[in-house]
Structure 1
């Protein structure tokens, strides 16, 4: 590769170097047409193409032009700015994708409610991301020792002292409930519920210990505790609020650099319709 195959951009004072072949992959884009020297927004100064735009978005623009995909960090939030820059450079498939994802939430919210009634602890977990809740549910196991056979666990053998697993309950896609502790069924008949949370293999009976392990598990999974409060003082219901930023997002667009089948006019029309709906 010779120096003649390279081109350097000065975007708002920050320099970026790429190849002419990268620009030619997007022949319908505005940025590719700078080669003819007719666009006044692109000025050649000291051998560099100067563009008076925000350079912080240009690295994503250049990534898309090189590979047909962009990697957005977990903390990225300025979709409006990225959409405007994509439109400015004439990369309409990218602009359309950003426009459609502007309002997409990048934060997961999880609420843990905990209460104690006599010798039992009750847990209810809500989460904005049902996939996260499903994954957590697969890691929580409930084991019942000497279960109540009056209809609660008809599928378990009678008079068994060996703990038997029972699933957590899922009232909806966004919550699950379970409880632990002991329950006296008759004068000399006690049922015990143990909880395990993978990868920890301990069977915990005490609800406070289960709460501590559950909070520790969420923190290790990347959640952070943002609030604690008492929801119902009479029923002693404690509420713990967590949130977590989503992982780095890799966006692969179906329109590859060599096969951008979205026409410029059609894409601009769709972008305009999206703005009218807001």
Structure 2
């Protein structure tokens, strides 16, 4: 997955609110309600510290502010440390933080200092975007799902679908990765050229545009995608009345927090 940019986060707050509304429409659960259901945890007035990190490519503009919006939007107590890096960590702990949110170029984590739980964004993002499709009420009896992108986000999503007894079809531009997945998991290879098949439920996690071909779509398909840029064209969205769950940061962040709550 590509690193976020300030441009990716420019409309994040509106996107989070709109996607929360769409998730409720699709599943009958709000985003935080769905997280409660799948993780079996609840917030208990934890204080959440967001630590800006300067390592690697440095601080992404609006990243910390977007995290703070997410935390506060869902009724939690959070703050951004004035200091960065190790000094920021010290500030967070001495100011009574229960949970730390911080990211560098390689990992974005949530760490609960009280119970020791730690969550990785790629795993939690894959899981929550998959669970949205698993809980789509209109297609509860349709078990077929297409997973496009079999990397560090797509693989946890694939595992979630299998745990939820879905029939998983997989595609990746890396044919060796597809072969590995077919060896390790009870899934089906998706080959639109040889065996075209359409789906109501599509998960996409790639850093590429237009990965979802027209033959994969049905009218009113749901595309659940943390991928940036969006993997489906506006023309196909309009033509097939596709419902798209896609937001750059908040959905995965909330999933991380519920993963480390008690």
TM-score range, shorter chain: under 0.3
Higher strand share: 1
User: What TM-score comes out, normalization by structure 1 length?
Assistant: 0.26
Q: Which structure has the larger Rg?
A: 1
Higher helix share: 2
User: What TM-score comes out, normalization by structure 2 length?
Assistant: 0.27
